[in-house]
Amino acid sequence: MKIAVATEDGKSISRHFGRTRSFLVFEVVDQQIIDRAVRDNSYTAHARGECHAETQHNHHLDHGEIVAALRDCEAVLCLGMGWRAAADLTQNGIRPFVLASEMSPEEAVRAYLAGSLEPAGGFCRCHESSD
């Protein structure tokens, strides 16, 4: 199984899924981390610099590219995520988790494996239209 963790620097967990620079993708066999790889985030509108204050409410965010890039992952762990991203991940069989507190990516993966993380909730609604 593979678990993705949003990260800016490979040492900490990103505060926002869509704005992260990269994902650490951990490969797990028999509850043990056996490998990890970095996947740069060039898939989200935030990462490409397409979400500006004057336009962020005037376009539909498409998460198809990031979902496709993480399609081999069972779960995605981060410290913040918008509701649309969470819904798109969930609809494609990827479980989103918004962590309640800061920890290292490895600690987060171990917590996921131990079953001590709650599925994501309380999402950022920053891209909701005002109508």
Residue 59 pairs in a beta bridge with none
Tell me: pLDDT of 127 over 50.
no
Higher-confidence residue of 123 and 76: namely 76
Domains assigned to the chain: 2-114 (3.30.420.130)
Indicate whether 5 pLDDT > 90: yes
Q: Read off the pLDDT of residues 26-69 as tens digits, 9 standing for 90 and up.
A: 999 999 999 999 999 887 665 555 555 444 444 445 688 899 99
126 falls in which pLDDT band (50, 70, 90)? low
Residue 33 burial class via C-beta count within 10 angstroms: exposed 0-12, middle 13-18, buried 19 and up: middle
The string of DSSP letters for 9-45 reads SSSS--S-GGG-SEEEEEEEETTEEEEEEEEE--SST
pLDDT at 51: 57
What pLDDT is recorded for position 113?
Answer: 97
The pLDDT, as a whole number, for residue 36 is 97
What totals of helices (H) and strands (E) does the chain contain, helices first? Answer: 3, 5
pTM: 0.82
- Distance, in Å, from the CA atom of 123 to the CA atom of 84, rounded to the nearest integer, reads 9
